[in-house]
Amino acid sequence: MAGLRYVARSFWALCLIVLFSISVQVEISSETVDTAKRKRIALKDEANTVRSIVISGNQSFSEQEIRALMQTDVWSVYDKTVLKSDLEAITRFYRKNGYLFARVDEEQISVKQFADGVYLGIEVDEGIIGEITLSGNEKTKKDVVLRELLFVVGDIYVEADKEESEQILRDKSYIGAARIETFWNTKANTVTVHVNITELWSPPVPSFDPALNSQGGTFLLGIRESNVFGSGHDTEVRYQRISEIGEKTKSLLTWKYRMPRVFSSHWNFDGAYIQKREGDSWGVVLERPQYTLKSRWSARFSLSETTGDFAWYEMIPLSDRLEATDRFEVNLQGAAGRIRRYFGDRERQNYIGIWATSRRSKYELIEKRYASMAEPSNRDIKMIGVTVGRKRVTYYKTRFIRRMGREEDFFAGSEYAFSLGQASPLYGSDKTETYANLISRSGWTGGNHILGTILIDIGTYFTTRIERSIIQTQTSWYYTDVFNTGDIYTVDKGFRKNGFFDFHQTFVAEFKTEMLFGWRGESQVMLGAFNGLRGYDYRQFNGEKMMVLRLESRTVCGGTLFRKFDDGIEAVATFIAKPFIKRSVNLGLVISATAFTDIGYIWNGHHTFSLAEPKRSVGFGLRGGFAKVSNAGIFRVEFAFPLDAPSEPAFKQMIFWGIERTF
């Protein structure tokens, strides 16, 4: 019995051992299966992991900037939907920054999947210019127009380059309108750029300007060609005869020549010999302007000399008008140079520049009629200095502000500059003197109607104390297109068809002031028709400080009536030019009716400012211009009536007619 129990215990022990072994074996097998499964899952995840991203074709933005736009990144799980969203984000980013033809096509994406992961290659097409075409240039050479563009074939197309190129072309005196259109060439996968210009008529025919008025007159006969043989060069030769009450009649000659882009560079050359009322002068300028906002530097060098008369005017006793009390023979010599370096982008820039100037003035009294304060100084100033500035640049396209029909780029930004210079005997100056100058200008728009500008210029000379100062301010306000009539005339299309009579109304308010401190006997301020107070003599009043407010209403006329006038002038001009020109000659006559009032004040240390002593005038007139003729100027006929004339009758009529350069 005991043996049987022993055998039973042994049997149960053996069964337990077998069951335990089976359990252990099952657990080991289960663990092996789980490990294999995990290995298979890990291998699958590793194959979908992004191991590398290579971005190519991005010349304008860094790889870091582009990868910051993407959700797909190295060590992330590759997802085709997410990658497609990333490509769309890259395209939106480029187009938002002006790269209108930039694209990232899925066909250009390289996706290589290996056992260890996914390798991505992204190629960005930023929009390469493949062709540039030109139309509208009947006289101007093709290369003369295309060299003004800020891009060439092979460059990446950027919208800002196009807009600034249009502005550069419009600024040329021989181009009235410029349009740049762009297309995507699907066959070549490049951008096609088409430039269309409207040339202004610039024949080398005589110009005639009988600028006569009740105070004398000017007879001008000259020849000007603003596009010599289609080269973009500008030359002028003219004869001018000037007569003025109380002055000797003078016959004057002028010769000017302007050569832009010397030797295909961005340097411009200007040379002039001018005989003026005050005497003869000549000048030479070599300048490399900041021709584009992308340009990093500019420079200007000039030489000039003027020899002639300098007259001092004062109110003599028992007289109600100014007369020349002293007359000097004057010789002015000048030389100047400056270089500037710009930092920043198109919209905001800082700049710093160095400059040097030499000015020599010599006065010799040749006639003295009455006792006066005239004591001009003989000076020899040699000065070097530095200028720092900041500007914000933006432009607004408009019409009928300063021109008669052509598109204008109205400056709607701001600029501030401070200059500090030092004159010293160490480099040839007649005495030690410091010069400081602050200039601020800005322009702004309020909607599509209100445009404004302001200019402040403060200059002072000082040694141990302030010696002399000049303060000049000027502001202009334009309330244009008052009745939302739109563009009644464009240079490329002419007058629009909008009934028998069409119009464009603008109200203008202009204010300017000039104040001298410490210049008594050396310089003086005049007030009269010469500087904006219409209805009075050119030099009606004198002093040391003055201000003028001008209010004007301008109505530019259009419609069928004035289109017929323009057509009639075109027929006459075409008939006259028929022996020389085969095509019709449209001059683009634009006429504006004006009504105005001017208010001025002038005072000095002896006669202080008084609000109750204004110098006022009212008037009306006509202005016009040939919008399609280069350098035509604006002809005007104005009837002005002074309300505060010092002589009787107080209300008298004065007529002005002639040509001016701005509207």
Domain ranges of the chain: 50-123, 129-199
User: What are the tokens at 620?
Assistant: 């009306």
**Residue 40, pLDDT score:** 42
**Residue 215, pLDDT score:** 46
Closest CA to 374 of 480, 523, 196, 589: 523
Q: Which residues are paired to 398 by β-bridges? A: 408
**Residue 20, pLDDT score:** 52
Q: Is the pLDDT of residue 269 over 70?
A: yes
Q: Is the pLDDT of residue 7 over 60?
A: no
**Residue 197, pLDDT score:** 95
For the chain, give the number of residues: 663
Q: Is the pLDDT of residue 632 over 90?
A: no
Q: Is the pLDDT of residue 510 over 70?
A: yes
Q: Kindly tell me the burial class for residue 555, based on how many C-beta atoms sit within 10 Å of its own C-beta (0-12, 13-18, 19 or more).
A: middle
Q: Is the pLDDT of residue 517 over 90?
A: yes
Cα–Cα dist 201/214, whole Å: 33
Among residues of the chain, what percentage have pLDDT more than 90? 60
Quick one: average pLDDT of 612-622? 91
pLDDT band, very low/low/confident/very high, at 638 (cuts 50, 70, 90): confident
Q: Which residues are paired to 581 by β-bridges? A: none
User: What are the tokens at 215?
Assistant: 């105070």
**Residue 220, pLDDT score:** 60
568 or 107, higher pLDDT: 568
**Residue 210, pLDDT score:** 47
> Are 50-123 and 129-199 the same fold in CATH?
yes
CATH fold for the domain made of 129-199: Ubiquitin-like (UB roll) (3.10.20)
SS (H, E, C) 28-73: HHHHHHHHHHHHHHHHHHHHCEEEEEEEECCCCCCHHHHHCCCCCC
Closest CA to 161 of 152, 171, 169, 150: 150
**Residue 315, pLDDT score:** 83
**Residue 211, pLDDT score:** 46
324 CB-near residues (< 8 Å, 6+ apart): 246, 247, 311, 312, 313, 369
**Residue 504, pLDDT score:** 95
**Residue 42, pLDDT score:** 43
34 CB-near residues (< 8 Å, 6+ apart): none
**Residue 17, pLDDT score:** 56
284 CB-near residues (< 8 Å, 6+ apart): 269, 270, 271, 302, 303, 304
**Chain segment 401-441, per-residue pLDDT in tens:** 988 888 899 999 999 999 999 999 999 999 999 999 999 99
Q: Is the pLDDT of residue 530 over 90?
A: no
614 CB-near residues (< 8 Å, 6+ apart): 599, 600, 601, 644
650 or 241, higher pLDDT: 241
**Residue 219, pLDDT score:** 57
Q: Is the pLDDT of residue 193 over 70?
A: yes
Query: What single-letter amino acid sits at 361?
Result: S
Locus of tokens 């560079």: 265
pLDDT band, very low/low/confident/very high, at 30 (cuts 50, 70, 90): very low
Neighbours of 525 (CB within 10 A): 21
**Chain segment 65-115, per-residue pLDDT in tens:** 999 999 999 999 999 999 999 999 999 999 999 999 999 988 878 999 888
What CATH homologous superfamily does 50-123 map to?
Answer: membrane protein fhac (3.10.20.310)
* Residue 408, CB-side half-sphere exposure with 13 Å CA sphere: 16
Q: What average pLDDT does the structure give for the chain?
A: 86
Cα–Cα dist 444/462, whole Å: 34
Locus of tokens 């060299």: 147
**Chain segment 573-589, per-residue pLDDT in tens:** 888 888 777 778 889 99
**Chain segment 321-371, per-residue pLDDT in tens:** 788 899 999 999 999 999 999 999 999 999 999 999 999 999 999 999 888
**Residue 580, pLDDT score:** 75
